[in-house]
Structure 1
Amino acid sequence: MEHSKLSLARRLKLQQLAIFEKVVETGSILAASRALHMTQPAVSKSVHELEAQFGESLFTRGKRGVKLTEFGVLLQRHAQSLLADLRFLADDVNAWSNGVSGQVVVGVLISASARLLPRAVVRMHETAPNVIVTVRVGSNDVLFPELARGVVDVVVGLLPDNQAEGTSGNLTHVPLYDETLCAVVARDHPLAGDPSIDPHQLENMAWIVPTQESAAWRSADAFFEAAGLVAPKRLVESVSILTNLELLLESSMVALMPHAVAEQFVRSGLLSILPLRLASSFGKVGYTLYAERTPTAATQRLLQTLHEVGESVRLELIANSPSTETR
């Protein structure tokens, strides 16, 4: 059976796609029915109708729920884009109506999750309190494809390969400030109060470093090279802030962290930045947009506050650079 744009427009219902997407998200017909406040038979009927439209099975059923078939994966990819466009329409209509509502879905990396993004959201809500901000945490290799599909509106964090401002492929990168890496320990660590640490004192310690597939891995390598250290043999690879913080508080480990992130925990009295006097570059922190999509009014509000907060973070990092730091 051949399909065309018009034939699909006549037969498909957006509600069917929304139900299909919820089943994929929750992993079962029952869980989707609860999330949608629908009966289980109604959800099953919608899925069966969608399968009948294409003459293909969308799911395989098992004891633990449902799993997408190969055709189901194909349909999900397009359903995400269609539903994202519907959300953009709703946001634009809401913004047109009152100018201070809508939704922004933000993909965030560790480099922006502790200071840049929280401050920007707080500042935006001072003038647009009804904008809903949904945060998705991940790495660039996950978030950039979601950005292209419209699942997220903007990705905030470390830009790939020190990307300067401009468009690369279908992505537009906008740097806000240059970030550096620093070594941190728990506030009560034996080295926390040492005003002059030789990097070689850290050689045999256990380290927490970024995962190898993350954009920060190359910066970690450069850090050890600048310090004259070989890559540690005892290490944990993690980009989870909460996991890294707990590891530091429960052990004598040393962690590599973006300076702006570490400063937040220093102010909270949890961590101490080791005074290694190293200005090891972490890269450029900023945001990335999909070049072929115009940001919604709500997204534009967030971008404006990202620029404002980014400038203040840039000045703070200059003031707390290794040459002036006394911790």
Structure 2
Amino acid sequence: MLSDQSLARVRDLKFKQLLVFERVATLGSMHKAAEAVHMTQPNVVKIVRQLEELLQVTLFERHSKGVRLTVFAEHLLARIRPMLGDARALSEELEALRSGEGGQVAVGTLISASAWLLPESAALMKRRHPKAGLLIQEATNDILFPMLRVGELDVIVGRLPENPGEGVEMHAIYDDELMIVARASHPLSRQPACAPEDLLDYPWIVPSNSSPVRKQVDRFFRGRDLPIPHNQIVSLSMLTNLGILARSDALAMLPSVAARPLIQVGVLFEVPIHVRVPFGTIGYSLRADREPVPAAALFIGILKEVGARAQATGGVPPAG
């Protein structure tokens, strides 16, 4: 049972204080938090001090580049993030009820979905439901799944991980493979075939170590007793990667559903290595303990429809 003093502290907590605290803790800066919540920096500092006085703890240690969380702040942040996520979901549900089909869906995505499945689905969503908002964030699984669990994201679209952790349910849409690609006028395009060791002569665009594509790149070379390419550009940005491919002799592994349309229009070509690299199952992930907000439910239906349409036309193989 809470003591009278603890009850008094909880009663005096204000939602704005927790919201400001969360932004400061997440962004690591009073200045950035002030911009995010549309307040002046002195007001943000004042609110943080009020919260520290109320809780009788120090939440942040100031340094030249921003702030560092104390152990008290880490515990508080872990407690309030799910609450703030639920508050956001409630706001979206009320907005959807008020407007008929409005609200917003927060989508996390990986490079495996950001070039085809997500753009196709987002475009169809806006055509059918123009009042619904889409907030899209591209990152890796180690960033996206914690955000999903606390309600900062409604859905994650991309390659389904082998172990997403507790509290997550995954839904398959289609299976994909990786293709080794380069610009259409690449020197390798003049060869009828090439060996895996030939690929070491060129720069490689690879994602970060935590990406499943990166693991497949490393496995491709190690499985053939070849060294990992040392001439690397590490990038998670599909747009940047395509720009680099177009302007250099770099090579990359891309999901086939992203690469094929660019090969068909003559932007890229598939390196004649005659090897198919398995990638995994593409789909979407949700929180297991909560129904999607109305806008998210609409978007999930569209994801399924786009995937089913592509399977029917032979664009992608079914999952499984």
For 2:170, the equivalent position in structure 1 comes to 173
For residue 179 of structure 1, give the secondary structure of its aligned residue in structure 2.
strand
For 1:112, the equivalent position in structure 2 comes to 113
Structure 2 CA distance for partners of 1:34 and 1:113, relative to 1, 3 Å: closer
For 2:315, the equivalent position in structure 1 comes to 316
For 2:179, the equivalent position in structure 1 comes to 182
For 2:252, the equivalent position in structure 1 comes to 255
Q: Pick from 285, 297, 311 the counterpart of residue 300 of structure 1.
A: 297
TM-score (norm 2): 0.86
Report how many residues are paired: 313
Q: Give runs of aligned pairs for residues 139-218 of structure 1, distance below 5 A.
A: 139-161=140-162, 169-218=166-215
For 2:59, the equivalent position in structure 1 comes to 58
Could you tell which deviates more after superposition, 34-43 or 145-154? 34-43
Structure 2 CA distance for partners of 1:188 and 1:43, relative to 1, 3 Å: same
Q: Is the 8 A contact 1:219 1:283 kept in 2?
A: no
Structure 1 Cα separation of the partners of residues 286 and 255 of structure 2: 22
Q: Give runs of aligned pairs for residues 98-137 of structure 1, distance below 5 A.
A: 98-137=99-138
Structure 2 Cα separation of the partners of residues 302 and 239 of structure 1: 24
Structure 2 CA distance for partners of 1:199 and 1:44, relative to 1, 3 Å: closer
Question: Residue type of the partner of 1:317?
Answer: V
Structure 1 Cα separation of the partners of residues 217 and 96 of structure 2: 42
Q: Is the 8 A contact 1:210 1:220 kept in 2?
A: no
Q: Is the 8 A contact 2:222 2:228 kept in 1?
A: no
1:265 aligns with 2:266: no
Unmatched 5+ stretches in structure 1:
319-327
Q: Is the 8 A contact 1:222 1:280 kept in 2?
A: no
Query: Deviation at 1:303?
Result: 0.6
- What's the CA shift string for 1:53-112, capped at 9, x where partnerless? 211111122333323222112222223222111110011111222332111111111100
Unmatched 5+ stretches in structure 2:
none
Structure 2 Cα separation of the partners of residues 13 and 146 of structure 1: 23
For 1:233, the equivalent position in structure 2 comes to 229
Structure 2 Cα separation of the partners of residues 61 and 210 of structure 1: 33
Structure 2 CA distance for partners of 1:194 and 1:151, relative to 1, 3 Å: same
Q: Is the 8 A contact 1:189 1:252 kept in 2?
A: yes
Query: Deviation at 1:150?
Result: 1.2
Q: Is the 8 A contact 2:213 2:253 kept in 1?
A: no
- What's the CA shift string for 1:20-56, capped at 9, x where partnerless? 2233345433443344343444322211111112111
TM-score (norm 1): 0.84
Q: Is the 8 A contact 1:184 1:274 kept in 2?
A: yes
Q: Is the 8 A contact 1:109 1:137 kept in 2?
A: yes
Query: Deviation at 1:4?
Result: 9.1
Aligned Cα root-mean-square deviation (Å): 2.7
Query: Deviation at 1:181?
Result: 0.8
For 1:77, the equivalent position in structure 2 comes to 78
Sequence identity of aligned pairs in percent? 36
